[in-house]
Amino acid sequence: MRPLHLAIAAAIHLSAGIAHAELPDGFVHLRSVDPTILQEMRYAGAHNFVGRTIPGYEAAECILTRKAAEALKGVQNRLREQFLTLKVYDCYRPKRAVSAFVTWSEVAGDEDTKAEFYPDIDKSRLFESGWIARRSGHSRGSSVDLTIVKLPPPAQRAYKAGELLIPCDEPKGVRFPDNSLDFGTGYDCFSLKSYTADTSVSEDAQTNRALLVELMAEAGFRNYRREWWHFDLIDEPFPKTYFDFPITAPEP
């Protein structure tokens, strides 16, 4: 294996305004392993708890270790038999993005998205409450945030900066319209209702959470109990390495 620092320092070039870069050994773009998995990379845009594109997200692409990507492909094969599909919200996350979360949390004010993503918790308590980590497993490349969507995927309107925000733990049909099945809350919803085992959400949401946890467990992933959407590959290939290469698009 060639030294990782050489891969990470690979030259980035621009083609039609899209950033491309060589990935470190062991990493792949998810679409190269399974192009049928939907991608809605929230940190590459403004619809996230910070309210803007996060540093390191130079393209709206899911990058994972090959092992994690191939495990997801197995889950996708199972779901497609039921006319369902995975949709990923976040995959590999550069360390610089995690640092940006820390910096944001320490700045007074800057709460433009509070009404949707953390309506009932003070921004200063997001770390101590376990909603954001100062070191994220996402930076090791084998963690993923995801949901399940019906096939064919229902239409989903685009998020508009400055629009009226609805709390993410309101019922489906009231909160921002995601085209996923009902999981009880929106993605990155800092609410007790996001705990995977929470029973205050609808029966449909509890059933959908159980299905996702079961299929992901069979593929070797462990769920994070505070977030129904977050899963870590148990036997990850880089358990002690936190990467910081930028997220870029695959070569055309």
Question: Comparing C-alpha atoms, which of 92, 103, 191 is closest to residue 136?
Answer: 92
Pure H helices in the chain? 4-8, 30-33, 66-80, 95-105, 114-117, 203-218
Q: How many helices (H) and strands (E) does the chain have?
A: 6, 9
What's the angle, vertex CA 208, arms to CA 147 and CA 235, rounded to 5? 60
Active site residue 227: yes
Q: 58 is written with which tokens?
A: 């130079």
Q: Reduce the DSSP state of residue 75 to 3 states and report it.
A: helix
- φ, ψ at 65 (rounded to 5°): -65, 150
Q: Reduce the DSSP state of residue 143 to 3 states and report it.
A: strand
Q: 40, 58, 116, 227: which is the annotated catalytic residue? A: 227
| CA 157 to chain centroid | 19
Q: Reduce the DSSP state of residue 41 to 3 states and report it.
A: coil
Q: Reduce the DSSP state of residue 89 to 3 states and report it.
A: strand
Active-site annotation, residues: 227
